[in-house]
Structure 1
Amino acid sequence: MRESAAERHARLLDLVRERGTVRVAELAGLLGVSPVTARRDAEALASRGLLDRVHGQVSWPRATGPGAPAGAPAGGPGAGAGLVLGLLAPSATYYFAEVIRGAHEAAARAGARLVLRISDYRPEEDRARTEGLLAAGAEGVLVAPGWRGPEDRAAYGDWLAGLPVPAVLLERRAEPGSPLDGLDRVSSDHAHGVLLALRHLIGLGHPTPLLVARGDSPTALAVRAGYAEALAVLGLEAPRPVIDSVPAEADPEGFERAVRALYEAVRSGLASAALVHNDVDAIEITQRLAPLGVRVPQDLALIAYDDEVAALADTPLTAVAPPKRQVGRHATELLVERLTGGADEEPASRHVSLLPRLRVRASCGAARPVPPL
């Protein structure tokens, strides 16, 4: 099977972590790829703060800056000095790049070593990859399983509760009462993020915003559930069911159906605003609506969910921004505390929910639409 970019990035990070510093020119031979690929990989990881890149070489980052422990030298030991922490993530790009970055920064500040494995959203491989982290010396693990829906959680989840080391769930929630429900976890409160978006749009004069959302990830499902909760909190009824969104490149016909459904809702006067999960879909939907005569923000007020690339749209998109980097940081700090607490009594498990923010830009200033003649 051909190695994915995420797997190659994980190997590159392993190499640099083990060696401390590697010349970019040497990476191609070490990774078995072309020099151009090695250079691009190094640049991509450095741009996300996972590596330091200076004068043709890459280095494992040192704990510097305002987050470093007071009075400690850069890279000096912290509360977790000498610990090895494992991190399993479904991806090293888009949403989870910031989660990984936060975890890496917190581990570095604590003086711990962070070992990364990527599942590429293959939940059937989560257990083996986590066991690989343990074999690499991980004394505790941060785990974001590659679940896409409840069926994956049911089929590939219970093993986590039997791990021989402390574990913290990242951006995942267990079924109440299940074996996983007793684990520490840190996640974004997506229901709060959806409520922020709907309240903002309603405050601008839009009666009941629509939701356009995917259904292929825990975040997407949480956004959908949060939409129903927010409507209830605000005393509103849904104008119509959620519009199902799919990646345009994977399912062009399904994507076109979503665009047409939103177009008809706007042109019929049913809706003047929408929340779209995620940023990429929001940008592509905006681009597709324009030649149909629906403009953002003139005809449709739009808010994206994720805030990864929303600010880069032609019309910068207002977006809900989950605290991804803080999720990684808080989870790592919790795990380090669990491993180094030294208390006589084992601390209670914690379920930590961090609140997203709404970043207001140009895309949500639409006026009420004019019904067609």
Structure 2
Amino acid sequence: MRSHVNQRHERVLDIVRRRGSLRVTELAEELGVSAVTVRRDVEALAEQGRLTRLHGSVSGPEQAPAASGSPARAARAEAAGPAAAPAGVVLGMVVPSMEHYFADLVRGARDAVTARGGRLVLGIAHWRSEEDTAQLGRMLDGGADGLLIQPSWERGVPSPEQEEQLLALRVPAVLVDRRVPLGGRLAGLDGVRSDHVLGGAAAVHHLAGLGHERIALLAQDNPTSPQVREGYEAAVRARGLAAPEPVTVDPEDPKGLDAAARKLYRAVTDDGVTAALVHNDQTAIGVVQRLRAHGLSLPDDVSLVAYEDEMAALADVPLTAVAPPRHAVGETAAELMLSRLAEGGGAAAPARHVSLVPRLNARASSAPPPRRC
């Protein structure tokens, strides 16, 4: 038994030597054992001084963070080489808001940065492009080593001036959860995003797999919506389904939800629609409440999939929902930046665009379509 444990310990050390720093969950997956077993192994090896356990991750002993400004930290950073992030790194992060969706992105970035002994500084632009500019300037003046930027682009597309601003930055930058327009000038920036096109398609494939042939789309008008709609339309075409006219919901209009719910009600009762994809959770819950007032119930009369999965499980009928990997996007963006900085800025290295695939969580709001008499 001890021989087996020793062999696993040597495998742990070999993986850490090859990969530098990685999360405990990643290590468990590579070893094919439980996270609990790996944590025990890591604790034992850390006590022997053979590796370093950080918050949720593990690295070689030479990569442990030291106090800011200490000679030991500088020596370790130099010895660690290109696989390790510079000691005491400061990353600036600009987001449009700190509502639910964005809070998870920020938490993911913060967890990755602090696990490696760095610091994340946050700026909130309140959906104003001029505030993006102000926050970026503040962070550059404050000495940020790199920037994680989720710009306040209208409908997710930058203006020429916004492109120019990002191209002129004097430190490395990673675009967070924004798709670089095809043919645009920002392809040279690193980027990490949720693939909302695949997320929209996943909702359609789920509903079509249950037997639905007429699936409606209700969506807010925001930077994510065009990608969700693109995925919805692509999956509808691939399945050979009929696509009702999409309904746009204005979240700022108090009457917007009422109008959207009435359109969906008529589509269900008059046009044979049996399911809907609704972006986002808040809109979906509001629409469901209004459908119930009109006498329709989920999933007996209509199935529904929400897009976002922040509050979908809390609805009266828990909503099936597509969950973009928000925390992982923030975490991956920070890790990409730390890797870029460890390469010395990496201007000559190719840009990296990382897309993470959303997950569909099936709940009570989706079922096979009702039988029509």
Q: TM-score range by the shorter chain?
A: 0.7 to 0.9
Quote the Cα distance in structure 1 between the aligned partners of 2:330 and 2:342: 18
Which residue pairs with 2:102 in the alignment?
96
Whether the 8 Å contact between 1:168 and 1:331 is mirrored in structure 2 is yes
State the one-letter code of the partner of 1:112: G
State the one-letter code of the partner of 1:219: T
State the one-letter code of the partner of 2:227: A
Whether the 8 Å contact between 1:297 and 1:364 is mirrored in structure 2 is yes
Which secondary structure does the structure 2 equivalent of 1:97 belong to? helix
| Aligned partner (choices 194, 215, 228) of residue 188 of structure 1 | 194
Quote the Cα distance in structure 1 between the aligned partners of 2:156 and 2:363: 34
Whether the 8 Å contact between 1:279 and 1:305 is mirrored in structure 2 is yes
- The 5 Å alignment of 1:174-323 reads 174-215=180-221, 217-238=222-243, 240-247=244-251, 250-323=252-325
Whether the 8 Å contact between 1:272 and 1:369 is mirrored in structure 2 is no
CA RMSD of aligned residues (A): 2.2
Whether the 8 Å contact between 1:124 and 1:156 is mirrored in structure 2 is no
> Structure 1 residue 214: deviation in Å?
1.0
Quote the Cα distance in structure 1 between the aligned partners of 2:175 and 2:346: 24
| Count of matched residue positions in the alignment of Structure 1 and Structure 2 | 305
> Structure 1 residue 207: deviation in Å?
0.7
Which secondary structure does the structure 2 equivalent of 1:99 belong to? helix
Cα gap change, 1:345/1:138 in structure 2, threshold over 3 Å: closer, same or farther? closer
- The 5 Å alignment of 1:6-85 reads 65-69=55-59, 79-85=85-91
Whether the 8 Å contact between 1:266 and 1:272 is mirrored in structure 2 is yes
> Structure 1 residue 232: deviation in Å?
2.4
Which residue pairs with 1:16 in the alignment?
none
Which secondary structure does the structure 1 equivalent of 2:310 belong to? coil
Whether the 8 Å contact between 2:56 and 2:115 is mirrored in structure 1 is no
Gaps of 5+ in 2: 1-52, 68-72, 74-83
| TM-score for both structures, normalised by structure 1 | 0.76
1:190-225, Cα deviation, whole Å (9 max, x unpaired): 11111111111111111131111111x211221112
> Structure 1 residue 64: deviation in Å?
5.0
Cα gap change, 1:163/1:137 in structure 2, threshold over 3 Å: closer, same or farther? same
Which secondary structure does the structure 2 equivalent of 1:347 belong to? coil
Cα gap change, 1:179/1:370 in structure 2, threshold over 3 Å: closer, same or farther? same
Which secondary structure does the structure 1 equivalent of 2:224 belong to? helix
Structure having the higher Rg: 2
1:7-38, Cα deviation, whole Å (9 max, x unpaired): xxxxxxxxxxxxxxxxxxxxxxxxxxxxxxxx
Whether the 8 Å contact between 2:155 and 2:224 is mirrored in structure 1 is no
Whether the 8 Å contact between 1:276 and 1:305 is mirrored in structure 2 is yes
Whether the 8 Å contact between 2:192 and 2:355 is mirrored in structure 1 is yes
Which residue pairs with 1:28 in the alignment?
none
Cα gap change, 1:352/1:74 in structure 2, threshold over 3 Å: closer, same or farther? same
Q: Identity of counterpart residues, as a percentage?
A: 44
Quote the Cα distance in structure 1 between the aligned partners of 2:167 and 2:201: 32
Quote the Cα distance in structure 2 between the aligned partners of 1:227 and 1:366: 19
Cα gap change, 1:369/1:94 in structure 2, threshold over 3 Å: closer, same or farther? farther
Whether the 8 Å contact between 1:158 and 1:180 is mirrored in structure 2 is no
Whether the 8 Å contact between 1:318 and 1:362 is mirrored in structure 2 is yes
Which residue pairs with 2:367 in the alignment?
365
> Structure 1 residue 258: deviation in Å?
0.6
Quote the Cα distance in structure 2 between the aligned partners of 1:274 and 1:307: 15
1:250-283, Cα deviation, whole Å (9 max, x unpaired): 3122221111100001112421000000000000
> Structure 1 residue 74: deviation in Å?
8.7
Quote the Cα distance in structure 2 between the aligned partners of 1:163 and 1:80: 20
Gaps of 5+ in 1: 1-62
Quote the Cα distance in structure 1 between the aligned partners of 2:151 and 2:372: 46
State the one-letter code of the partner of 1:66: G
| Aligned partner (choices 140, 145, 155) of residue 146 of structure 2 | 140
> Structure 1 residue 166: deviation in Å?
0.4
Alignment pair present for 1:110 and 2:116: yes
Quote the Cα distance in structure 1 between the aligned partners of 2:280 and 2:91: 30
Which residue pairs with 1:354 in the alignment?
356
